[in-house]
Structure 1
Amino acid sequence: MILVIEDEPKLAALLVDYLRAAGYETQWVADGRQAVAAVRAGRPQFIILDLMLPGRDGLDICREVRTFSEVPIMMVTARVEEIDRLLGLELGADDYVCKPFSPREVVARIKAILRRTQNNQGLALPKGLLIDMEHYCASLDGHGLTLTPVELRLLNALAQAKGRILSRDQLLGQLYDDHRVVTDRTVDSHVKNLRRKLQALRPEQDLIRSIYGVGYCLDL
């Protein structure tokens, strides 16, 4: 789903029409105060974000979204000053287009960005889980996870395994940068801590499954 955050009804309708013609589901939000809630609830695969919005400006929205999501963001604005362009990209926007623009070009850019980000991600992560190894952060269902570096590497290893069982030895090889010598029980301890943090967000699920004598897998 592509979330269009734009307060001009005619422009928003035009974008929605072109996106739907290209095969994308869409959602439209016109008020900046509703934007972050829409991102959290809808978990879009892409966001088109106008800079000038009633209630809250696009730069502020982009800044907050980047605290819990790595969803690609395209900023759309009538501002052409270089400072606005640089500030938008520094806050985490993936692209920037100025009005007036061609809807066909916007759709083409979206397709290119989605191809690039999907290729960079490799295997798709389980639903609701976001992991950014470059910035050492992760979130589940839109809520940030406070993880140690070892716990983050453990979560990433389990997530990339896509439900396959990983042995303690396999996990040990991915947990420490300095190749220190540790015991199997060290993995068990990290799994216990990671499981507790995940269950705080999904108390109804045991997200890390233990297979006795074999290892662990992630059930998301």
Structure 2
Amino acid sequence: MSKILIVEDDNEIAMLEKDYLEISGYETELIQDGCKVVDAVLAGDYDLILLDLMLPGSSGYDICREIRDKIDIPILMVTAKTESIDKIRGLGLGADDYIAKPFDPAELVARVKSHLSRYERLAGGDLKKKPALDTLAQQGTIQIGNLKIMTLSYKAYRGEQEIKFPNREFELLKFLAMNPDIVFSKEQLFVKIWGYDYVGASATVMVHINRIREKIEEDPSNPKIIETVWGAGYRLNA
């Protein structure tokens, strides 16, 4: 049974999330103080976090940044802040998705299910560990200049230096690398990687592409590997 951490200081919303998730077969735990979240995540055994942004003690942005630096599990921000800049900031800090209040509880459960399934598939059944496939390191390798993408072991190297990617970023890079010289729109990439249609698809993909570029490009402001095709989308140049 997957265990969901609900971080929400509004008791009515927290109980709504808790009830719907538990009815859907998930185990839940609730924290309402932002200062307690990071320690609880590192000490606990959670499979996904529903994270409010406006919390007492510590903001959801700071919590997301600190968690993402330490552990790779799905983080879904649930908040009343709906401006594009707020969404882009959250996604840029490593959040996997953004759910605006008020929300349809059925949609929230569907998003949770989708993210859990995708992370589990990427991690080979363990949400918190990359698959141990070092013996297959020479298989499924894509070389682009000095960038090496190992599609089976979910590792990437720039020269001899390993690059650390959250699962979602690696899956996006892997998909583009396995489909080189093809232009994909932001909406197409979102459906391919996130698995469903979503009104915030364009901003989500843009943020993740920029984060990937910062790690793989010699000059992220003038990318050569992942190129923007204006008015069309993105293309990985092989």
TM-score tier (shorter): 0.5 to 0.7
| Equivalent AA in structure 2 for residue 110 of structure 1 | V
Check 1:53–1:172 CA distance in 2 against 1; reply closer, same or farther (3 A cut).
closer
Q: What residue in structure 1 maps to residue 107 of structure 2?
A: 105
User: Aligned equivalents of 1:124 and 1:115: distance in 2?
Assistant: 9
1:21 is the counterpart of 2:23: yes
Question: 2:76·2:96 contact (CA, 8 Å) conserved in 1?
Answer: yes
The equivalent position to 1:51 in structure 2, one of 53, 67, 85, is 53
Question: TM-score, normalization: structure 1?
Answer: 0.58
The equivalent position to 2:75 in structure 1, one of 48, 73, 76, is 73
Check 1:177–1:119 CA distance in 2 against 1; reply closer, same or farther (3 A cut).
closer
Count of residues in correspondence between the two structures: 140
Question: 2:54·2:60 contact (CA, 8 Å) conserved in 1?
Answer: yes
Q: What residue in structure 1 maps to residue 129 of structure 2?
A: 130
1:157 is the counterpart of 2:157: no
Q: What RMSD in Å do the two structures reach over aligned CA positions? A: 2.3
Higher Rg of the two aligned structures: 1
Percent identity, please.
Answer: 46
Specify the SS of the correspondent of 1:87. helix
User: Aligned equivalents of 2:136 and 2:118: distance in 1?
Assistant: 28
**Structure 1 residue 177, shift from structure 2 partner:** 9.7
1:63-114 deviation per Cα after TM superposition (whole angstroms, max 9, x unaligned) = 0000111110100111111111001011111110111111111001111111
The equivalent position to 2:9 in structure 1, one of 1, 7, 10, is 7
1:89 is the counterpart of 2:88: no
Question: TM-score, normalization: structure 2?
Answer: 0.54
**Structure 1 residue 130, shift from structure 2 partner:** 2.6
Q: What residue in structure 2 maps to residue 39 of structure 1?
A: 41
Check 1:172–1:78 CA distance in 2 against 1; reply closer, same or farther (3 A cut).
closer
**Structure 1 residue 124, shift from structure 2 partner:** 2.6
